[in-house]
Amino acid sequence: MASLMEELIVALREERDLYQKLLPVSEKKTSALVKADLQELQEITEQEQSILDHAYAVGKRREEIFSNIGVVLNRKPEELELSTLAELLTKQPEERRQLSEVHDSLKKIMKRLVAVNERNKELIENSLEMIEFNMNFIQSTRMSPGNNNYNRNASTSYGPEPGTGAFDARQ
């Protein structure tokens, strides 16, 4: 059990470090979204994906460790949480302290990541709404009943533009 706890603490620290790396990248993404810099946004997204792929692998390893701890403790892995494990480690104060510290730091980082990602999500949604508004505006101006077209005499003529949507009777 002691080696499983050490493995769990190592995996959690690695996961924490990865999310700690992800935080400034996500904050940089906010800046790129505000500037509407698509090139920078692409690069940042690739960085994020690389970190998240690594975090996914570490998360899978952590789940396996949890599963093994569940077997040892005769409990379902879904029932085990870090706080529950910390309570079970009353006879091992050093591991309990390490587990509690990594748990607290992970909670803080995840809370900050969620806040940054929510802000990024709102910025993306606002951008999409603006794009949709612009598309609707462009379509409505194309479909307006009359266009102001000026002829050689600078007088206004109303009606469809010549050559657009006209029926060719010769066919």
Domains of the chain: 2-144 (1.20.58.300)
Outline where DSSP puts E strands in 2-112.
none
Least confident of 41-45, 91-95, 108-112, 154-158: 154-158
Residue type, 140: S
Token pair for 158: 């109303």
Contact 98, 82 (CB under 8 A): no
Mean pLDDT of the chain: 82
Per the DSSP assignment, residues forming a β-bridge with 150 are: 156
Which of helix, strand or coil describes residue 38?
A: helix
Residue with tokens 């748990």: 103
Question: How high is the pLDDT of residue 48?
Answer: 93
pLDDT band at residue 88 using 50, 70 and 90 as cut-offs: confident
Residue 22 confidence (pLDDT) above 90: yes
Contact 14, 58 (CB under 8 A): yes
d(CA 62, CA 147): 65
Q: What percent of the chain has pLDDT over 70?
A: 82
Question: How high is the pLDDT of residue 98?
Answer: 87
